A = this chain, B = another copy of it.
Amino acid sequence: MTGIPETVSSIKQAAEFTGLSEDTIRYYEKIGLLPYADRKASGHRTYSKHQLNGMVFLTRLKATGMTLEEMKHFRKLYEIGEASLTQRVSILIEHKNRIQNEIDRLQETQKMIDFKIDKYKEVLVNPDTNTKWKSPFAD
C-alpha cells in the first residue's frame, strides 16, 4: 500500500495552483491555519495533491466570508478525528446558511440598483425629472 510516491509541489507551484501568494501560504502556516508542511532535505516545503486540494477548499471558505480564526477552529476539530465529525457537519451547514443569506442580500441590492438605474435612465431621457434628487444615494 506504500511505495508509490505522491506527486509533490513546491511552494511556488502551490501558490499557482491555489491562487494564494507564497507569502500567504507561509503566513497561514505561521498562524497555524495550515499544518507545518513537509520539507525536503534542503528545508524547502513540499505539498501533496491532497494538501493542494485542501488549500483550494480553504480559499473557497475564505472567499465566502469565513474568517481565518473560524477555519483554524475547523482544522482543530479535524485533528481531533472522527469524534468531531458531527460538529464539523454543523459548521459546514451553518456556513452554507450564511452564504445563502449573503446571496439573498446581494440579490436585494441588485434590485435596488436596477431601480436606481431606471431612474437615472429616465432623467437621461427627460432631464426635468432630476429636481427630485437631493442626495447621491437617495431613494
Contacts and interface: CB of A to CB of B under 8 A. Distances in A.
Interface of A: 48, 50-51, 53-58, 60-61, 63-64, 74-75, 78-79, 82, 85-86, 88-89, 92-93, 95-96, 99-100, 102-103, 105-110, 112-114, 116-117, 120-121, 123-124, 127, 130, 134-139
B107 A103 contact: yes
Copies in the complex: 2
A108 B101 CA distance: 15
Provide the main secondary structure of the chain A interface: helix
A85 B138 contact: no
Contacts of A56: 137
B74 A139 contact: no
